[in-house]
Structure 1
Amino acid sequence: MDNIKVSVIVPVYNCSEYISTTLNSIINQNFDNYEIIVIDDGSSDNSLDIIYETLSQTDIPHKIIHQRNSGVSVARNNGMEMARGQYFVFVDGDDYILTTHLSELYKNIDEFSLVQFVKKDQDKTSNPYFYHQEEMSTEEFIKKELMMEMPLKLWQVMYKADIIKNNDLKFTPSVVYGEDTEFALKTLSFGDKK
């Protein structure tokens, strides 16, 4: 896989207001050997121009895919097809990640890893959710997520690429709401521990 440790997969649809900030948060990671895969899902604003401009200023390996508008699931699936990393992380076009995001996820990786999150809305930030276990079975984690005891956002998880590829796992295009949780739980069910 070309010695790429992590592929960061970024679907974008009409995110011109946010995409520069999102991409710069990915570019400024304190982590080496990762690539950025951006999939423009037929944006009708100037998102694609901003993507090209922002990524032209970095030496981090990257690919830009432009597709006809087909939805976020198809965009992520196309990103996974192009990804070369040993692990996948998904970041949406309007997300922002801390500079330590990839290094925190990668430092204890086996099949999956998970980081806590804090949500910011203008000047307000949510209380962080702290995970009290260093390691748990994926079955236990799935149960906790389904019982809403442990919140899960797609970008919190790093996935082993081989688990996804060897089991032909994909986002389901017909699932319009909760496609990220459906993918996460489906993928985690093929693992041993997170």
Structure 2
Amino acid sequence: MVKFSIIIPVYNLEDYLYRCLESVLNQDYNDFEIILINDGSDDNSLNIIEEFKNQYSSKIKVISQVNQGVSSARNKGLQEAEGEYIIFIDGDDYIDSNHLSNILEYIGKSKNSFILNSLFVETGETTWVIPKASKNYDCSFYGTLMNILDNHRYQGFLFNKIFSNSVIKSNELKFKENLYYAEDTEFVIRYLLECKRENRI
């Protein structure tokens, strides 16, 4: 089992994929897999994905499907994920080279390691830099849930969180594929509730 499974849904992101994948592959912590789900792209995204797959075959899994939306793509990624922890990154995002090592350090120190918030910085584009796990945010069940219910910015998003794969698999958690808005927040809340029910958080 690898430590991290990094799930990246891709739909027509040829302008961003090189930067995204290079940032993930440039990590200073190496125990991870990348799961790329090509969700019916009709630009050059699949060719870029295959280029990286050919170069890093031991690191990258590729799934292709007809366009079914981001929730379906993430669910396909969850089915294939073998890592202890799940990280979701969008194909137009990129991360700092010590992102995983900082998360790992925080996991080792935190009692609430089943859902973590990460620091992030706006770049002024539709892109986020996620440099390191935060030791300041309230990552408890009530802290995270209340921030979501209070409509606190970013608390319901996926890109700044780390999930336990065992919680996801044992409870058969999936994204609702018939939702077209806030599907990430809905998943996060159900995940939190399962963690609470199992006394994991």
For 2:187, the equivalent position in structure 1 comes to 183
Encode CA deviations 1:87-113: one digit per residue, 9 max, x unaligned.
100001111111122222222222222
**Partner residue of 2:29 out of 24, 28, 31:** 31
Equivalent residues in 2 for 1:122-141, closer than 5 Å: 122=125, 133=136, 136-141=139-144
For 1:147, the equivalent position in structure 2 comes to 150
Aligned residues of 2:115 and 2:164 also touching (Cα < 8 A): yes
* Runs of 5+ consecutive residues of structure 2 not aligned to the other structure: 108-112
**Partner of residue 156, structure 1:** 160
Partner deviation per Cα, 1:93-137 (whole Å, 9 max, x = no partner): 111111122222222222222211111125xx99x9x96746542
- Mapped partners of 1:67, 1:165: distance in 2: 22
Matched, 1:121 2:124: yes
Q: Tell me the TM-score normalised to structure 1 length.
A: 0.87
Relative to the length of structure 2, the TM-score reads 0.84
Partner of 2:110: none
Measured after TM superposition, the shift of residue 150 of structure 1 is: 5.7
Contact 2:23–2:96 (8 Å) recurs in 1: yes
Secondary structure of 1:53's partner?
helix
Contact 1:9 1:89 in 2 (8 A): yes
Q: Which residue of 2 aligns with 1:11?
A: 9
In the aligned structure 2, how far is the partner of 1:177 from the partner of 1:134? 25
Tell me if structure 1 keeps the 8 A contact 2:115–2:161: yes
Query: What's the offset of the Cα at 1:149?
Result: 3.8
The size of the alignment, in residue pairs, is 188
Matched residues, percent identical? 38
User: In the superposition, relative to structure 1, how do residues 60 and 119 fare at CA in structure 2: closer, same or farther (>3 Å)?
Assistant: farther
For the aligned residues, what is the CA RMSD?
2.4
Q: Which runs of 5+ in 1 are unaligned?
A: none
1:46 partner letter: N
Q: CA deviation at 1:60?
A: 5.0
